[in-house]
Amino acid sequence: MAEMISAHILKEEARCKDNCGRANFTKSYKRKWEHMRAMIQEHYGRTRPVYNTNLRPNRNGGNRCKHQNRVAKGAGRSKHRNWIKESGVWGGIAGDWCCDGMSQGELAWWGRKAGFKGIGIYHGNVHLDDRKTKRVVKWGPGTFRKPKRVTSGSGP
């Protein structure tokens, strides 16, 4: 059985591809992510799979050590490299996510609503990070789109 780091996040989704031991997100990151997932489920009336691009071949959407950040062609100060201790547990603060049947703009909107402060849209996914800033930092092409209201059990 796959190892979980929260109710709905697989350890594999957070793991650095170098197997350097970085395979977790901070408690606050996981709390925001689970809240986002619950809001999506409530809005659409059913579960929509939100998954990390780490589960795709040749993608590195979880935590990264310095070497893996170079391999992923990440920014020099990428939040994927931040590894911090929160409440006595080490974890990362950034991940790249997808949701089948949902636009990047919609997923970015849900991420912002859940409280993520760093939100990027690029390469077919949405970057969500838990940076400690007062304002939301957005980048990439596309727009944040509030999803249309759907009746329970209908919609995409």
How do residues 32-49 score in pLDDT, each as one tens digit?
Answer: 999 999 999 999 887 788
pLDDT at 58: 82
What are the residues whose beta carbons fall under 8 Å from the beta carbon of 108, sequence distance 6 or more? 119, 121, 126, 138, 142, 144, 145
For 61-93, how does the pLDDT look when each residue is reduced to its tens digit (9 = 90+)?
A: 999 999 999 999 999 999 999 999 999 999 999
pLDDT digits (tens, 9 = 90+) for 1-19: 789 999 999 999 999 999 9
Alpha helices per DSSP H over 58-99: 66-71
How many CA atoms lie within 13 Å of 43's alpha carbon, on the beta-carbon side? 18
Distance CA 139, CA 131 (A): 14
Q: Which residues contact 38 (CB under 8 A, 6 or more apart)?
A: none
Q: What is the mean pLDDT of the chain?
A: 91
pTM as predicted: 0.91
pLDDT tier for residue 147 given thresholds of 50, 70 and 90: confident
Q: Which domains does the chain have, with CATH numbers?
A: 11-139 (3.30.1380.10)
Cβ partners under 8 Å of residue 117, min gap 6: 129, 130, 131, 132, 133, 135, 136, 137
Strand order in the sheet with 50-52: 50-52, 94-99, 125-129, 118-122, 137-139
